């Protein structure tokens, strides 16, 4: 503990939550939970306790105020605040976003095409007026009078006349849908409250397709609203009663069909509806089958409407088949067979070709897919670690495909890929002000050996001026992890991360089991009754970095968020001696309590990921053995811990980190809680607010690492 931090700790007293034991009995096991009363969000005493925690955290970190301001200033000074995105063509317009210096939110704009054959996006400049520009939505105006603002849906109709947008001003991810007539600039009378994100306008601009959620915050119903009619008259297109399934809907790129998709963690089902007959009868693509996931997209091959279906039936890493759209349950034609070690991720269809994504050797890849031959032409890039994928391609018959690209050292880059020639046209690279040079930084992948012999990939990035080679001396290191839901942590660039790297910190990602980096089996080996592999993999990665001389326990801070926050709580219990600090964002640290209560948001659908402890005694015992809140150790010397949460988070409730911090303090841990009182799972809204939030976290992290100065 630094002298200033020690002085701060001595000068203020930590809040002490009352112990009000609540009994919980399952499978013959009774647990007395002293802090479950903190779940009562409307109880003034709960709010008083959270505000006391915030005040304590502010007092304990007051010595970091100047460092926070420096880090915030560094993020701000490296960011081109007035900027524009690369325009994307749709219909007769180029669509793009603006950011303006001093404003929190983006501005959505469009400008007319030069001609119908215009596929070269205009080169825009923040200080040059764009001919014919129309401002569609200025989020700064829409956000006036609100502490929080988020767009959940944003779409312009095919004919370019209407704009659909959904607004959340609380952070609870309930959106009010509105439709604006872009010819007049006025909103239509149609307003649809309490919707989920991802609403769509029909191709003929007559209808809005949207979803609503049940009491457990599960999107369970798809609705059809005809513009100009009362919302009370909206037609129910689909309702899914099974609490394990989420429901959503969207139109194919071809505008031919509406696809209604249902999914649990392990099973999916799709229904197809003709876009020109939305009041007609939907038909199932493939009836659901437990453990079978699939996703389909429409194409026209030899004049026939077909569906390409990516699925995992008897194909662990998925295969691609083709069926007739009129008879999707007919005999499928295998076009890309299953290949162990090549995890197929998705297919985006266009009129004349498709783009296919897959993972191989721990990296995401992409290629052009030929309808006639079913061949894949893989796109290649120069860096050994990178992330690339098709992005922002609404047109059905484009001659170019928009690509997004980045690495740990290369800022976000936009290419247009010319399909006919294979040429990649650089459209924009995210500007990083202040003289940033990618060559000044190095990235590397190494492999750590887990206790069971599994090789776990670890990605690292650092600044070369502190040493070209790692392992010559222990360095301050920031180790990030997630490891759930088959979510992969890709190599990506971060302006904020430069404030660490330029102080000599090595940033690393432990690609632990439970994620998807190494294929579907990698995920299977880190879920349900194999979940402990996620935690032990992270600990083994930390030990590898220490044993290799790259860092040391007093110079190592771990970070994870949401399910990665569960990882943080678990590793703090498993190996507290390996870490100087643990940063847990919206952490899922009271997992057993939450997963036992089917009335809580998202619980039932989560049983496929974690198991069902309510009805299965073995799952109950297994989860109880690792859930962080229930396994806080009295005998452990815990690292410094900072938990960050939000009062209106509907995914991981604020009560989990609140209880966890209270329990950690009982065990003598130096634990801080920061609760945003008007925000959701993603934290605060507005880019400057988000920068300040990250500056707060990084200042704490840098202080723990002892590298406050650049």
Q: Is residue 249 part of a domain?
A: no
Q: Is residue 465 part of a domain?
A: yes
Q: What is the mean pLDDT of residues 284-312?
A: 97
Q: What is the mean pLDDT of residues 618-636?
A: 97
DSSP β-bridge partners for residue 349: 354
Calpha distance 402→417 (Å, rounded): 6
Q: What is the mean pLDDT of residues 214-243?
A: 95
The model's pLDDT over 129-145, given as tens digits with 9 standing for 90+, comes to: 889 999 999 999 999 99
Q: What is the mean pLDDT of residues 60-75?
A: 97
Q: What is the mean pLDDT of residues 343-365?
A: 96
Q: What is the pLDDT of residue 650?
A: 72
> Is pLDDT at 710 greater than 60 in this prediction?
no
> How far lies 435's CA from each of 507, 593, 708, in Å?
21, 50, 21
Q: Is residue 484 part of a domain?
A: yes
Report residue 239's pLDDT band, with 50, 70 and 90 as the boundaries.
Answer: very high
CB contact set of 483 (below 8 Å; sequence gap of 6+): 510, 512, 513, 514, 515, 526, 534, 537, 538, 563, 564, 567
The model's pLDDT over 395-426, given as tens digits with 9 standing for 90+, comes to: 999 999 999 999 999 999 999 999 999 999 99
Q: What is the mean pLDDT of residues 238-260?
A: 96
Q: Is residue 204 part of a domain?
A: no
> Is pLDDT at 1 greater than 60 in this prediction?
no
Q: What is the DSSP string of 492-538?
A: ---TTTHHHHTTTPEEEEE--BTBSTT-HHHHHTTSGGGTHHHHHHH
Mean pLDDT of the chain: 95
Q: What is the pLDDT of residue 5?
A: 62
Q: What is the mean pLDDT of residues 557-563?
A: 97
Q: Is residue 35 part of a domain?
A: no
The model's pLDDT over 669-695, given as tens digits with 9 standing for 90+, comes to: 999 999 998 755 566 677 999 999 999
Q: What is the pLDDT of residue 9?
A: 64
The model's pLDDT over 153-195, given as tens digits with 9 standing for 90+, comes to: 999 999 999 999 999 998 888 999 999 999 999 999 999 999 9
Report residue 7's pLDDT band, with 50, 70 and 90 as the boundaries.
Answer: low
> Is pLDDT at 307 greater than 80 in this prediction?
yes
Q: Is residue 472 part of a domain?
A: yes
Long-range contacts of 353-357 (CB under 8 A, 24+ apart): 353/419, 354/297, 354/299, 354/308, 355/390, 355/393, 355/401, 356/320, 357/389, 357/390
Helix axes 65-78, 687-705, angle to 10 degrees: 130
Per DSSP, the three-state class of 259 is strand
> Which one, of 286, 308, 295, lies nearest residue 371 by Cα?
308
pTM of the model: 0.93
Q: What is the pLDDT of residue 600?
A: 78
> Is pLDDT at 699 greater than 60 in this prediction?
yes
> Which one, of 504, 394, 480, 451, lies nearest residue 93 by Cα?
394
- Pairing assessment for the beta strands 387-390 and 207-213 based on DSSP bridges: unpaired
Q: Is residue 581 part of a domain?
A: yes
Domain containing residue 476: CATH number: 3.40.50.1820
Q: Are 10 and 1 in contact (CB under 8 A)?
A: no
Angle at 662 between CA 657 and CA 667, to 5 degrees: 120
Calpha distance 538→541 (Å, rounded): 5
- Pairing assessment for the beta strands 640-646 and 581-585 based on DSSP bridges: parallel
Task: Give residue 548's Cα distance to chain centre.
Answer: 31
Q: Is residue 571 part of a domain?
A: yes
> Is pLDDT at 314 greater than 60 in this prediction?
yes
The model's pLDDT over 521-539, given as tens digits with 9 standing for 90+, comes to: 999 999 999 999 999 999 9
> How far lies 354's CA from each of 419, 545, 556, in Å?
10, 41, 44
> Is pLDDT at 601 greater than 80 in this prediction?
no
Calpha distance 68→83 (Å, rounded): 25
Q: What is the pLDDT of residue 683?
A: 61
**Both tokens of residue 428?**
């924009």
> Is pLDDT at 473 greater than 80 in this prediction?
yes
Structural domain boundaries enclosing 580: 53-77+446-705
Which residues have a catalytic role annotated?
562, 649, 681
Q: What is the pLDDT of residue 574?
A: 98
Length of the chain: 710
Report residue 81's pLDDT band, with 50, 70 and 90 as the boundaries.
Answer: very high
The three-state (H, E, C) secondary structure of 537-579, written as one string: HHHHHHHHHHHCCCCCHHHEEEEEECHHHHHHHHHHHHCHHHC
Q: What is the pLDDT of residue 556?
A: 98
Q: Are 196 and 214 in contact (CB under 8 A)?
A: no
The three-state (H, E, C) secondary structure of 215-242, written as one string: CCCCEEEEEEEECCCCHHHCEEEEECCC
The model's pLDDT over 222-235, given as tens digits with 9 standing for 90+, comes to: 999 999 999 999 99
Instruction: Name the region of 181 (left: φ>0; alpha: ψ -120 to 50; beta: rest).
Output: beta
* Number of folded domains that form the chain: 1
Higher pLDDT, 599 or 244: 244
Q: What is the mean pLDDT of residues 54-79?
A: 97
Q: What is the pLDDT of residue 192?
A: 97
Report residue 389's pLDDT band, with 50, 70 and 90 as the boundaries.
Answer: very high
Q: What is the pLDDT of residue 127?
A: 83
Higher pLDDT, 217 or 681: 217
DSSP β-bridge partners for residue 270: 261
User: Phi and psi dihedrals of 6, rounded to 5?
Assistant: -65, -40
Q: Are 359 and 517 in contact (CB under 8 A)?
A: yes
Q: What is the pLDDT of residue 217?
A: 84
């Amino acid at each position: 503990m630094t002298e200033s931090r020690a002085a701060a700790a001595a000068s203020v007293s930590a809040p002490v939550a009352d112990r009000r034991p609540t009994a919980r009995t399952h499978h013959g096991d009774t647990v007395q939970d002293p802090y479950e009363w903190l779940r009562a969000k409307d109880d003034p005493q709960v709010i008083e306790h959270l505000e006391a925690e915030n005040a304590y955290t502010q007092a304990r970190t007051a010595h970091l105020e100047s460092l926070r301001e420096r880090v915030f200033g560094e993020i701000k000074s490296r960011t081109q605040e007035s900027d524009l995105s690369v325009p994307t063509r749709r219909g007769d317009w180029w669509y793009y976003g603006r950011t303006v210096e001093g404003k929190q939110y983006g501005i959505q704009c469009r400008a007319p095409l030069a001609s119908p054959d215009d596929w070269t996006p205009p080169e825009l400049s923040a200080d040059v007026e764009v001919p014919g520009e129309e401002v569609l939505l200025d989020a700064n105006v829409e956000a006036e009078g609100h502490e929080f603002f988020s767009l959940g849906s944003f779409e312009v109709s095919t004919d370019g006349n209407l704009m659909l947008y959904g607004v959340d001003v609380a952070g609870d991810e309930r959106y009010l849908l509105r439709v604006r007539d872009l010819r007049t600039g006025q909103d239509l009378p149609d307003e649809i409250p309490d919707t989920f994100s991802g609403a769509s306008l029909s191709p003929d601009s007559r209808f809005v397709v949207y979803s609503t959620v049940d009491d457990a915050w599960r999107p369970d119903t798809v609705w059809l609203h005809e513009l100009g009619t009362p919302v009370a008259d909206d037609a129910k297109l689909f309702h899914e009663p099974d609490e394990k399934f989420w429901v959503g809907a969207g139109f194919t790129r071809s505008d031919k069909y509406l696809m209604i998709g249902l999914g649990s963690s392990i099973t999916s089902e799709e229904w197809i509806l003709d876009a020109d007959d939305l009041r007609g009868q939907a038909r199932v693509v493939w009836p659901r089958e437990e453990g079978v996931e699939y996703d389909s997209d429409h194409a026209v091959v030899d004049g026939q409407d077909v569906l390409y279906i990516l699925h995992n039936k008897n194909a662990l890493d998925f295969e691609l088949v083709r069926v007739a759209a009129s008879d999707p349950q007919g005999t499928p034609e295998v076009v890309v067979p299953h290949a162990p070690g090549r995890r197929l991720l998705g297919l985006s269809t266009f009129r004349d070709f498709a783009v296919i994504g897959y993972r191989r050797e721990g990296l995401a890849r992409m290629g052009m897919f030929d309808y006639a031959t079913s061949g894949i032409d893989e796109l290649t890039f120069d860096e050994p670690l990178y992330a690339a994928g098709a992005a922002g391609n609404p047109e059905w018959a484009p001659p170019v495909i928009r690509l997004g690209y980045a690495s740990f050292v290369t800022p976000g880059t936009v290419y247009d890929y010319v399909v006919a020639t294979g040429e990649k046209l650089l459209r924009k690279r995210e500007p990083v002000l202040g003289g940033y040079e990618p060559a000044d930084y190095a990235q590397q992948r190494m492999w750590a050996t887990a206790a069971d012999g599994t090789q776990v990939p670890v990605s690292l990035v650092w600044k070369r001026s502190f040493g070209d080679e790692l392992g010559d001396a222990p360095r301050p290191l920031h180790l990030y992890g997630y490891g759930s839901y088959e979510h992969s942590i890709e190599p990506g660039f971060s302006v904020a991360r430069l404030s660490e790297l330029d102080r000599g910190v090595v940033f690393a990602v432990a690609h632990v089991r439970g994620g998807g980096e190494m294929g579907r089996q990698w995920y299977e080996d880190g879920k349900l009754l194999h979940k402990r592999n996620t935690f032990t993999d992270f600990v083994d990665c930390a030990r590898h970095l220490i044993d290799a001389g790259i860092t040391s326990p007093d110079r190592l801070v771990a970070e994870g968020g949401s399910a990665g926050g569960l990882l943080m709580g678990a590793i703090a219990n498993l190996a507290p001696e390996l870490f100087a600090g643990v940063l847990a964002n919206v952490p899922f640290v009271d997992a057993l309590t939450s997963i036992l209560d089917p009335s809580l948001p998202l619980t039932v659908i989560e049983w496929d990921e974690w198991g069902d402890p309510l009805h299965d005694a073995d799952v109950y015992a297994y989860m109880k053995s690792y859930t962080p809140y229930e396994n806080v150790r009295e005998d452990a010397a815990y690292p410094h811990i900072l938990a960050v949460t939000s009062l209106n988070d509907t995914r991981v409730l604020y009560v989990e980190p609140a209880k966890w911090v209270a329990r950690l303090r009982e065990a003598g841990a130096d634990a801080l809680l920061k609760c945003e009182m008007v925000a959701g799972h993603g934290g605060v809204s507005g880019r400057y607010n988000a920068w300040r939030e990250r500056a707060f976290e990084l200042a704490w992290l840098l202080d723990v690492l002892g590298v406050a100065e650049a």
